[in-house]
Structure 1
């Protein structure tokens, strides 16, 4: 019997959330992402937990197997300042970038608080990799609302055809479509001083089109302009 083969995969790397004292690894983004896969019908979900830098590398190695036309990575973990799940954002993104060419990884969704404020670090890590986009939050992100936004981005961006990634404005336009169901002025979470932050002031985007000479750039303002004009 021939083996069924999907064309796309979403690689989910998740750290324990411990949202309350009784959360014994109860909370997870996995059911939400599995819903995306069932909706599209042509996407596999590969999932692993991580706890530190060493286990993140092991999890990533484990998930990067098989042959797919494209993969998208979803890192779901607590974030604070420059760290995601206790790892420095540059270290984490560099590990993904190094895998991107061989395993056709096109984008990264960082489902973590605060790390989106380091858009420059995203740009540096995407540079000269196969990664075409990266998104993250520059403030706290309420768990459920943030997960739903992440899912919308992952569902839309993982289904795109390759030619979209030839043009920076097209990438930004597709990111804008992905977040269209969500209000720009919705208070997604607080800043470090406990002041509420609107979604448009938190969710950041970096894009790197294919082609020699194209560099990774912050396209946040372009995405939100397209969102507002739709």
Structure 2
């Protein structure tokens, strides 16, 4: 009989094929990067499934949510445009994740997709009252490799937090700022809908819902960027 190995944390990767160029036949994937941070962090499992439309996303999510961990992050990695990821409305995706947030102890969502992070109001509405403590995304297009590295940094930092840590919004903001601090906020990470350049500080978006009665989901991007400055000063001292 096989002995079951059990870790305390998990990253559930739901990825749609990228087709970054004409020869990219499912070649590009965020999976090796995520597996790297999981090995670095230790005590972290990585589960991966591809999706292609709304139906396959729901099936993939249900399959990945069979196990329960002390802390689970859902990483959606797919092309995004306006309010949709891989052609699926972000509202529908977030509501579906919310259904599993308590049974699978999902504490965070990383949106590795262009533009959808701009929908902070929808994000707040969808995670309100769920077990989800944070969500991060981009309000512009996003360079694939750079965005993947930022995503991994954020997930690695937030997986370190436990239930008690999530009870303090400022603590979560500090961890997000720390995760962002190795990257230049003035780096041009992508473009807006009109093709104008957008820097990281104008693209990245964060929503936090601290644990505890009365704590509501709210956008904390400006707070994270303020805390980011502390880490720049600290590291250069």
Structure 1 residue 3 displacement after superposition:
2.5
For the residues of structure 2 that align with 1:130 and 1:67, how far apart are their CA atoms?
13
Listed one character per residue, the Cα deviations across residues 119-155 of structure 1 (whole Å, up to 9, x for unaligned) are: 0111001100000000000000000000000010011
Q: Give the match for residue 139 of structure 1.
A: 140
> TM-score normalised to the size of structure 2?
0.95
1:224 paired to 2:225? yes
Structure 1 residue 2 displacement after superposition:
4.2
Listed one character per residue, the Cα deviations across residues 14-41 of structure 1 (whole Å, up to 9, x for unaligned) are: 0010011111000000000010111112
Q: Give the match for residue 59 of structure 2.
A: 58
Q: Give the match for residue 45 of structure 1.
A: 46
Q: Contact 2:15–2:50 (CA<8 Å) still a contact in 1?
A: yes
For the residues of structure 2 that align with 1:156 and 1:229, how far apart are their CA atoms?
17
Aligned-residue CA RMSD (Å):
0.9
Q: Give the match for residue 198 of structure 2.
A: 197
Q: Contact 2:68–2:103 (CA<8 Å) still a contact in 1?
A: no
Q: Which runs of 5+ in 1 are unaligned?
A: none
Q: Which runs of 5+ in 2 are unaligned?
A: 232-237
For the residues of structure 2 that align with 1:91 and 1:135, how far apart are their CA atoms?
17
Q: Give the match for residue 179 of structure 1.
A: 180
Q: Give the match for residue 17 of structure 1.
A: 18
- Aligned pair count? 230
Structure 1 residue 191 displacement after superposition:
0.8
Q: Contact 2:137–2:204 (CA<8 Å) still a contact in 1?
A: yes
Structure 1 residue 85 displacement after superposition:
1.2
Q: Give the match for residue 125 of structure 1.
A: 126
Q: Give the match for residue 68 of structure 2.
A: 67
Q: Give the match for residue 213 of structure 2.
A: 212
Listed one character per residue, the Cα deviations across residues 91-111 of structure 1 (whole Å, up to 9, x for unaligned) are: 001100111011100000000
Listed one character per residue, the Cα deviations across residues 71-120 of structure 1 (whole Å, up to 9, x for unaligned) are: 00000000000001111011001100111011100000000000011101
Q: Give the match for residue 91 of structure 1.
A: 92
Q: SS state of the match for residue 164, structure 2?
A: helix
Structure 1 residue 4 displacement after superposition:
2.0
Deviates more, 1:154-163 or 1:13-22: 154-163
Structure 1 residue 168 displacement after superposition:
1.4
Q: Contact 2:71–2:162 (CA<8 Å) still a contact in 1?
A: no
Q: Contact 2:14–2:75 (CA<8 Å) still a contact in 1?
A: yes
For the residues of structure 2 that align with 1:154 and 1:75, how far apart are their CA atoms?
12
